Amino acid sequence: MPAGRKVKEENESNDNVKELVKTIIIFVIVIGGTFGGYYIFKAAMGTEMPIVVVVSPSMEPQIHEGDLLFVKYKDPADIQSGTHENLEGDVIIYDTHGVWDDPVEYPVVHRVVNKWYDDINDIWYFNAHGDNNNYPDPPDESSVTADIPDTKIIGVVVGRIPYIGLISMWLESTGMAVPIMVILGFILVISIVYDYTHPEEEETKDKDERSKYKEVRSKTPVSSAEDQGSDQKIKKDEEFDLGL
């Protein structure tokens, strides 16, 4: 094998290894940045659940099933109480465990319609009501209105993106979330391995680009020393490719 060709193949092998390492590093940075960004967002919003998806129509028509909500901590003393009739008051997210006799799996998103302060125990209590429900929480005619302590409040709604949460709801209900993540990860790994094990395709691509460049240059008159230098460089590249 000519010395020039051998050197070129060694350089290409080193370049492929570098590209593989760079791709892996970028992948790790993207994954780490995603999770890291979420934890930073949690800290900024002051709550463990800064993003939630609405899973029921109990807040229609103000908040729809499938809406993605942004949640932020708010001092209990500053949470605003309103009325169910006028749809006023802060919308809170709270945990029903220990509050309802029959708690639900997911946190509830309902509007505050009453609040008071227990100065003996230093706790704020709230009553909530879904805009689309006939009764305050828990939304059952036979139940006594639940007093929600501030320790059960996750945060207040500060923004929303309509219906985008329907995607995650579908993935969860169909059990497709994990399989899709596995498939996407598998495709990414296959792509990285394929690029690493087929460097000749990249070499062919480079040669095609060089040929196109030479074709364009051949149609352009050489009118300066700089252009002549470029043509000499192309000639040297051709000799190098031939192992000379």
* Contact between 54 and 66 (Cβ < 8 Å): yes
Is pLDDT at 51 greater than 70 in this prediction?
yes
169 inside domain:
no
Instruction: Give the pLDDT band (50/70/90) at residue 127.
Output: very high
Instruction: Give the pLDDT band (50/70/90) at residue 121.
Output: very high
For the beta carbon of residue 111, count every other beta carbon within 10 angstroms.
27
Residues 188, 215: one domain? Answer: yes
Complete DSSP assignment for 165-202: THHHHHHHHHT-HHHHHHHHHHHHHHHHHHHHH-HHHH
Domain boundary at 111, 140, 164, which?
A: 164
Residue that the structure tokens 């000519």 belong to = 2
Q: Which residues does residue 123 pair with via DSSP β-bridges, in sequence order?
A: 118
172 inside domain:
no
Residues 229, 200: one domain? Answer: yes
pLDDT at residue 35, as a whole number: 67
Residues 17, 59: one domain? Answer: no
Q: Which residue has the higher pLDDT, 174 or 57?
A: 57
Helices (H) and strands (E) in the chain — how many of each?
Answer: 5, 7
Instruction: Give the pLDDT band (50/70/90) at residue 239.
Output: very low
pLDDT at residue 39, as a whole number: 84
Which range is most confident: 13-17, 83-87, 228-232?
A: 83-87
Distance CA 197, CA 71 (A): 47
Q: What is the mean pLDDT of the chain?
A: 78
Task: State which residues form the domain around 185.
Answer: 3-35+179-241
Residues 73, 147: one domain? Answer: yes
Least confident of 124-128, 184-188, 239-243: 239-243
Residues 112, 192: one domain? Answer: no
Q: How many CA atoms lie within 13 A of 107 on its CB side?
A: 21
Instruction: Judge if pTM exceeds 0.85.
Output: no
Max CA pair span of the chain: 94
Domain boundary at 164, 188, 209, which?
A: 164
pLDDT at residue 52, as a whole number: 93
Which tens digit of pLDDT belongs to each residue from 210-236? Answer: 666 566 566 655 554 445 555 554 444
Residues 22, 117: one domain? Answer: no
Instruction: Report the relative pairing of strands 153-161 and 51-53 from DSSP bridges.
Output: unpaired
- Token couple for 196: 């690493």
Q: Stretch 49-75: mean pLDDT, rounded?
A: 93
Residues 185, 130: one domain? Answer: no
Which range is most confident: 89-93, 98-102, 188-192?
A: 89-93
Share of the chain above pLDDT 90, in %: 41
Q: Domain count of the chain?
A: 2
Radius of gyration of the chain (CA): 32
